[in-house]
Structure 1
Amino acid sequence: MEQVFRELQPLVATIMWPFCRIVVALLSAPVLGEVMVPMRARIMLALLLAVVIVPGLPAMPAVEPLSLQGSIAMAEQILIGGMLGFVFHLVLAALMIFGATVSSQMGLSMAQINDPLNGQSSDVVSSLMYVVFILLFFAVDGHLLITQILVKSFHIWPVGSLAFDTGALKRLALALAWMFSAALALSLPVVFATMVMQIGLGFLNRVAPTLNLFALGFSVTTMFGLLLLTLLMPSLPDHFNQMISHVLNLLDQLALPPRTELS
């Protein structure tokens, strides 16, 4: 039995590094990393992917997992896996901010509901945007895209040789600003249209003060916002594809080799 354990030890060490990177990526990725997916399912999926992709990966370094070098390699896999899952969260966050902004303009943000998908309270439009993201994510084979990126990451950043360009890391930090700008660009038509309508209701209140425009205006604003949201929904797949392309370009920039400084 001890001989069998000695023979299996190199195999376990070979699978452990891909498993650590994949499981962290699945924990931080959208949809697959939400509370609606059981933790055991994510761990088993990560282990299965690690076993399947190991034959096509570069040779793993002979590092003792319990040593200082093994701890550094483990932190490296956590950093890369978390980064790969985080960049896809930018698209989800942009849609969620868009939903929260539109819901606030329509007056629906006053009603918060418990969202069973992520275990948090959210408004109706944000929950709708989350469902739309899930449908679009699997429609464009997002799960296969994440798997392909994970496999390529081992060729770009092999275990034990992590090297990032500082400019690329700066672009990753600035991607948060892109997330807010994308959400603003999506919500700007609804925000502007509802603002114009509310200005018109204000003028109407000056002309006919006897009308109860507080109750009437709330209903009209909500119905008008739902109409605008219905007209905007068909264009969301195109915006989603553009945001996914932006995320992939960001990953390509991170994959560039670090630039050497000329003396």
Structure 2
Amino acid sequence: MLWLGHFLWPFLRITGLFLTAPLYGSSMIPSTIKALLAAAFAAALAMWLPNLPPFPGNPFSAIYTGITQIAFGALMGMTMHIVIAAIACAGEIAGLAMGLSFAELQFREAGGPTPVLYDIMLWAGLLGFMAAGGPVWIFAALAHSFAHGVGVAPLSSWGDLAGLGGTLFSAALGLALPVVAVSLCVNLTVGLTTIFAPSINLLSIGFPLLILAGLWVMAASIPAIGPAAEHLTTTGMDALGVLLAHG
């Protein structure tokens, strides 16, 4: 029971992490590979982590503790998923502002068709998250969460994560703000032009101009994705630090 507990508790928490975490929870990774990785990571942690309790003989206690471990690991992964979601949401806001939201793709990571700019920014956010060391940090936080056994943070700390929803929308709007501002200026300019020259076709002139200006500004703002991803990753790691049982 002691050896089983040393392996099973990390395995359950890693399984929950693989359900929601960026990169680890990608649907492009086969489930068999995920299971093997979770077992390998759990075996490594079992030989390194001290003071893990044995597997309880009471089945009700074992089921409750197991569900708690899976839920806690999934919550840790969801916390870091906000980093990717914020950058991807910026692409969707930019697409809506420039009138390019009608262009959609069937992306494997999504349940249905998603805007093209959403997919592009999703990949940019994932690459920025990996460049900032996010996958390594989140696994280090998971290993550090066992410093005081299999205990989890109190529910009040879990509730603090609701504030990250505001971070998601504020960061997304901040990244998409140049495109939104330029789109507003183009719409105002084309609207005033059609008042003084009613013969100008609004769709044939304004629509292509709006898309081209939006794409140009979005391409010019690509260097800002790296620092934004690094800042969001740091914010997510601070939120993970609140979730740790010891702090």
TM-score bucket of the superposed structures, by smaller chain: over 0.9
Matches within 5 A, 1:152-171: 152-156=144-148, 158-159=149-150, 161-164=151-154, 166=156, 168-171=157-160
Which of 177, 184, 206 aligns to 1:188? It is 177
- Matched residue count: 247
Greater RCO, CA 8 A, separation 6+? 2
2:45 paired residue among 53, 67, 71: 53
Paired AA for residue 187 in structure 2: Q
Aligned partner (choices 202, 207, 225) of residue 196 of structure 2: 207
| Aligned 8 A contact 1:94 1:183 in 2 | yes
Contact 2:7-2:42 at 8 Å conserved across structures: yes
1:150 counterpart residue number: 142
Residues in 2 aligned to 1:134 and 1:173: alpha-carbon distance in whole angstroms: 22
Q: Are 1:21 and 1:78, in contact at CA under 8 Å, matched by a contact in 2?
A: yes
Alignment of 1:225 with 2:214, yes or no, is yes
Letter in 1 for 2:237: L
Map of 2:186 onto structure 1: 197
2:26 pairs, out of 34, 48, 61, with 34
Structure 2 portions without partners, runs of 5+:
none
Task: Supply the distance in 1 between the matched residues of 2:153 and 2:195 (Cα, whole angstroms).
Answer: 65
Shift of 1:49: 0.4
Structure having the higher Rg: 1
1:214-247 Cα offsets, whole Å, 9 max, x none, are 1211100000000110111011100111111111
The root-mean-square deviation of aligned C-alpha atoms, in Å, is 1.8
| Structure 1: unaligned runs, 5 residues or longer | 1-8, 259-263
Change (3 A) 1:35 1:120: farther
Query: Which deviates more, 128-137 or 96-105?
Result: 128-137
TM-score by length of 2: 0.93
Verify the 8 A CA contact 2:91 2:117 in the aligned structure 1.
yes
Question: Does residue 176 in structure 1 map to residue 162 in structure 2?
Answer: no
Distance 1:163 1:236, change over 3 A: closer
Cα distance per residue 1:164-204 (max 9 Å; x no partner): 262x3332112112211111121122112211110011000
Give the aligned partner of residue 229 of structure 2. Answer: 240
**What displacement does 1:112 show?**
1.4
Partner of 1:13: 5
Equivalent-residue separation in structure 1 for 2:191 and 2:6 (angstroms): 68
Greater than 6 Å deviation, 4+ residue runs? none
CA contact (8 A) 1:24 1:81 kept: yes
Q: For the residues of structure 2 that align with 1:257 and 1:138, how far apart are their CA atoms? A: 27
Q: What residue number does 1:4 align with?
A: none
* Whole-angstrom distance in 2 between the partners of 1:31 and 1:165: 27
